[in-house]
Amino acid sequence: MKANGLKENLAKLRELAGLTQKQLATRVGASASSVSRWESGTVAPKRGDVERLDETLNAGGQLMREWEREASGSQLPPWMRDTVRLEQEATSIDYVSPVLVPGLLQSPSYSAIVIAGAQPITDQGTIDRLVRLRCRRYAELRNYNNPRVSAVFPHTALTAFPECVRKEQTGQLVEMCESGRLSVHLVPEGAFLWGVTSPMALYRLRGGGVTASSDHMSGNFLHGGADDWERLGEVAKHAFAAALPSDQSRKLLEDLT
């Protein structure tokens, strides 16, 4: 079903199900007037209402996705939003990525390969949109709260890509480092990031709070406990120890450009 918007898709799904507004209202425990206002867009349903509507109309999560997008006022997909909010509240971010350049630092051609590989059934138009959203995040962050960013990832995260992609990506990283707010630490070939099974990030937040997140195939997972922070902090510490210092990493980046 095309993602026209919550009100359009709600009305369409109800009609396809052969239900009147009153019949649908009865099934989800609402009034017919509420359904009418939801479909006209004059009133937005609450999350619980949308969950019941989605289940009753067999929408497969489409109504929930439309509601989340409209409620947040963001074009970002839900799996990207928690990360964005953390980045915006952070005074510093430490990224540790066992395979790839962290998403915040990816160049357009690099990001296009990564996103297409991770979402093979997604249409090209959506991939192009996600690439644009991802690749403008760092500039937006610099203008918003300008956190200090440190990133650890393997040298092979660059050399494994085609030469034209590698040169674009390394050139962008060198340019980003010139701001003084980004330090890159490359893990040399032959070294290994023990204990890092997926990309992770540690955030120090305004107000003194700390939290961490890790990326998985189905989305981003937030680690809220103090024990999680201590454990992941130790993992990150070992990762930085395995990587080259920032000045040596910078020289390697320049050699790859």
Contacts of range 213-222, beta carbons closer than 8 Å, 24 or more positions apart: 213/82, 213/83, 213/86, 217/118, 218/79, 219/78, 219/79, 220/79, 220/80, 220/82, 220/83, 222/82, 222/86
pLDDT at 71: 62
Q: Which helix (H) or strand (E) holds 129?
A: helix 124-135
- Domains with residue ranges and CATH for the chain: 4-72 (1.10.260.40), 78-256 (3.30.870.10)
User: N- to C-terminal Cα distance for the chain?
Assistant: 44
- Mean pLDDT computed over 139-165: 95
Q: Inform me whether the pLDDT recorded for 85 exceeds 90.
A: no
- Residue 230's nearest CA partner among 202, 207, 206 is 202
pLDDT at 19: 94
- Residue 62's nearest CA partner among 103, 2, 11, 104 is 2
Q: What is the pLDDT of residues 29-50, one digit of tens each?
A: 999 998 998 888 877 788 888 8
The single residue listed with the structure tokens 């160049």 is 107
pLDDT band at 3 (very low <50, low <70, confident <90, very high): very low
- Mean pLDDT computed over 71-86: 59
Strands across the sheet containing 200-205? 182-187, 148-154, 90-96, 200-205, 210-216, 219-223
The single residue listed with the structure tokens 């199900």 is 17
| DSSP-assigned letter for residue 31 | -
Q: What is the pLDDT of residues 214-228, one digit of tens each?
A: 887 667 777 766 677
Q: Inform me whether the pLDDT recorded for 2 exceeds 80.
A: no
